[in-house]
Every structure is written in structure tokens, then in C-alpha cells.
Structure 1
Amino acid sequence: MNEPMLKKMDAAPINSAEFFTRSQARLNFDVPPGLIDPNIVPRTGDEGNDRMLEIIAREQPVRPAAVLIPVVDHREPTVLLTQRSPHLSSHAGQISFPGGKIDAVDASPLDAALREAEEEVGLKREFIEPIGYLDLYGTAFGFRILPTVARVKPGFELTINQGEVVDAFEVPLAFLMNPENHQIHSKEFRGMERSYYAMPFAERYIWGATAGILRVLYERIYLA
């Protein structure tokens, strides 16, 4: 994020066509060097978060990861999200995007995101039109996440890999891109206060990296 988390931002709503047009104009497939360079720490604009990421970068190896932000091109667009298995070693049970670690077999972060989407939920590549990378996002687990925004053609059928995710569901893009739904919560990290976003939707608690990445999407696409 390019602005402090606690700064209030407002933007006029845009329709689905304008969302995809702006995304294509503002995003590209240039891979940021911070994806693998531990000396380049992703910035969030929140002092506590940035300090935490600096500490993590010194203590843990960088773990490059890629996720797909699948925006389904319905008349009213939605974002396809997953709920991770409760047995995973990191972010267990949380709401997430399809994605995971970038493997040596992956030609690019985009290739990793597409592979993971197919492995986790059976989303076939022929339904996906990649648009570009969003900003690099760092987590407390040492992951450097590079999200790919993509337009997804409706009509796909999902096959859930229960070993990785237990559910997949869609949330209206309009809800996720409405700043009134962007709650700011906080927690302590080694004596420092750090903020994080949460976007509760019905019985789903969208928070942490997923909500943070959605906030970045809002700032990049919805703000002038």
C-alpha cells in the first residue's frame, strides 16, 4: 500500500467494464526485485507493520509466493476466494486467494498462480485472462506474495482439493471495493502495535493478507 493504513480514502464507484479497463492500464507483468531480495522490504504505510516486516526479513529466509485474484466477469463481478484447510502449517483455516509458494518448475509468478489455482480448486487456465501483477505484499511468516489480477470467464466448474482448501466461494467485487467495508483492527507484535484490514462478509471473516491485498487492489484501481 502506498498510503498509511489509517488514512481515510474515498473513491467513486466504477462499473465492471471500467474496473477491467483501469486494471489493464495500471498493471503489468514486471516482477519486482523484492520478491526474492531480502534487502528490499515491502512497505505498507503502517509503521508497526513495516517494522515487523523489517524484523522478519532479518530473521527468516524470503519465501516467494504467488496468488491469483480471480475477478469473475458476471454482470455484477465477484472475486473467487477459498477457505484454507485447518491442517495447513501456515494461515490454517483462513480465507485466501488461490495460490502458494513459487516452485522451481514455475516459469513465472503468473505461472505459479495459475498452477496453484488449478491444483487447489480446479480452475482451468482457459477460463482465465491474466491482467497484471499487483503490488508485492509481505507477511509475518516471511512470505513475499505477488498477486496476479485476472478476469475469469463464467461457466467454470470447480474441483476442491480438500488437502489444501475446504471451500471456494464468491464475494461481490462491489462489496470488497467499498471502503466502508474495510475495517481496521490491530494486534501486538513484540511490543509494537500493528494494524491489519478485515472485511467480514456474512459468516466469512476476510482478514490479514487477503484483506490487505484487496485494500491494495482498491487503492491501485479505484483511486485516481
Structure 2
Amino acid sequence: MEKKGAATTDAGTEDFFDRARARLRFDIPPGLTDAGIAPSTGDQGRDFILQETAREEPMRAAAVLIAVVARDEPTVLLTKRSARVSDHAGEIAFPGGKIEATDASPVDAALREAWEEVGLPRDFVEPIGYLDLYGTSFGYRVLPTVARVRPGFDLHINAGEVEEAFEVPLSFLMNPDNHKQGWKLARGRMRSFYEMPFEERYIWGATAGILRVLYERVYLK
């Protein structure tokens, strides 16, 4: 995994949203549904695993919501997945899931999943744009939607999918000093991953990787 140079991040409320609006669009990448395109991550070990996964079975299209709550100190809404779910049980995640045929768009899927998982009302959410397509070793092509969320909402947790929901300061997540790098052996190759431990929470894997992409798109490009 290649680390790009660090940038100073204000991560203030309006600064972040102004940057995000200037850099993000709602163009859907062809790799979301084209089985012939394996999402690239820039890490050779991880890309090898994604290519192998794509050859073994069709990668499923999914959407997640990066819900940035516009508080005086902005935060990102995250969840801890239930121990009962089949994929990523007990891990820290964004609200999200598989894109269904009834979803009008990936952003519609992300909003639906956020409502179903944690009861986040759509009228509190202002979608800003999509991040880059992100592939996971579980066979998902994930398209994240970045959104501004107005404070004042009440959440209602779906205990069958989510154990709890919580917020992490955006300033912590957008500080490259907190983007630690881990390594593990998978399919005979070493692959790297990001981890962002916050208090008693262990944010890592796809969630940390997507947050790193958010940092790079908003502050480095």
C-alpha cells in the first residue's frame, strides 16, 4: 500500500464540506457492475486477492453511507455490526449493504440501509457525492456515498444487524498520523491494511481503508 504525502487537515465543518463538494460527483464507476473490472486499491497484495475473488465468484455491488454529522466539531457516524450477521460480524462499519434491484441508485441504497440499520431519517441527510469504488475480500464492490447529516436526529438500532451506533470526531479520522498500517498473510501473499484505533474502538479493514480514501480525495487531490 503506497502512502501519499500528508496534508494539513483542518477538518472544520464548512472546510470539509466545501472541499468534498468541490471534489466529489455522482458519476457511477463502471466497475460497480462490470464483472470484468476488479476494483483496484493500489496495494499489489490486496489487488491480487480481489482479482482472485472476482474470478471465483461474481463480486456483489454494495453501497455504504459516510454520514458526516455537521456538529460544531463534525463527526462520522459508525456502527458495530451484530455478532449474528454473516459478514464482518462484530466489526466497525459504515451503515450500508447490498444494492437491491429496487434501489433507484447507489445513494438510494445507502440511504435505505442507513434507515434500516440505525433509523437515520433521510430528511436529515444531504448526499454530496461518491468516493472511489472499493473492493473487499468478501467479494463486495462497495461504492461509498459521502453525506452531510444535520444534527438533531434520533436513531433506532436494528439489533438484528447492528449492536450499536456511535460517532468519531472527523478531525481524528482525517489526521494521517492516526492512519496506522498493519499486515497479514492472505492466499500466500502479504497484504497491507489501515487501522485507526480510537479509544476502545478498533477501526480497521475496509472501513479504515475507505476513510483513508476519503482523506486522500478531500485533502490530497
Q: TM-score range by the shorter chain?
A: over 0.9
Q: Provide the secondary structure at the position in 1 that maps to 2:220.
A: coil
Deviation at 1:151? 0.1
1:107-137 deviation per Cα after TM superposition (whole angstroms, max 9, x unaligned): 0000000000000000000100000000000
Gaps of 5+ in 2: none
Deviation at 1:36? 1.0
Of residues 107, 110, 121, the one that matches 2:107 is 110
Q: Is the 8 A contact 1:68 1:147 kept in 2?
A: yes
Of residues 5, 8, 26, the one that matches 1:9 is 5
Identity of aligned residues (%): 67
Of residues 123, 134, 137, the one that matches 1:137 is 134
Quote the RMSD (CA, aligned, Å). Answer: 0.8
Within 2, Cα distance between the matches of 1:8 and 1:28? 22
Quote the residue 1:222 is aligned against: 219
Of residues 57, 60, 85, the one that matches 2:54 is 57
Within 1, Cα distance between the matches of 2:4 and 2:123? 39
Of residues 71, 74, 83, the one that matches 1:86 is 83
Q: Is the 8 A contact 1:9 1:179 kept in 2?
A: no
Say yes or no: does 1:174 pair with 2:174. Answer: no
Say yes or no: does 1:196 pair with 2:193. Answer: yes
Within 2, Cα distance between the matches of 1:26 and 1:8? 18
Within 2, Cα distance between the matches of 1:9 and 1:88? 37
Deviation at 1:6? 3.6
Q: Is the 8 A contact 1:184 1:196 kept in 2?
A: yes
1:63-94 deviation per Cα after TM superposition (whole angstroms, max 9, x unaligned): 00000000000011000000000111111110
Quote the residue 2:70 is aligned against: 73
1:190-218 deviation per Cα after TM superposition (whole angstroms, max 9, x unaligned): 11000000000001000000000000000
Deviation at 1:8? 4.7
Within 1, Cα distance between the matches of 2:169 and 2:95? 17
Within 2, Cα distance between the matches of 1:13 and 1:183? 17
Q: Aligned runs of 1:139-158 on 2, under 5 Å?
A: 139-158=136-155
Deviation at 1:7? 2.4
Within 1, Cα distance between the matches of 2:140 and 2:107? 16
* Amino acid across the alignment from 1:12: T
TM-score (norm 2): 0.98
Deviation at 1:55? 0.6
TM-score (norm 1): 0.96
Aligned length: 220
More displaced 10-residue stretch of structure 1: 5-14 or 151-160 = 5-14
Within 1, Cα distance between the matches of 2:103 and 2:3? 37
Q: Provide the secondary structure at the position in 2 that maps to 1:222.
A: helix
Q: Is the 8 A contact 1:137 1:144 kept in 2?
A: yes
Deviation at 1:16? 2.0
Within 2, Cα distance between the matches of 1:98 and 1:198? 18
Quote the residue 1:120 is aligned against: 117
Gaps of 5+ in 1: none
Within 2, Cα distance between the matches of 1:87 and 1:162? 9
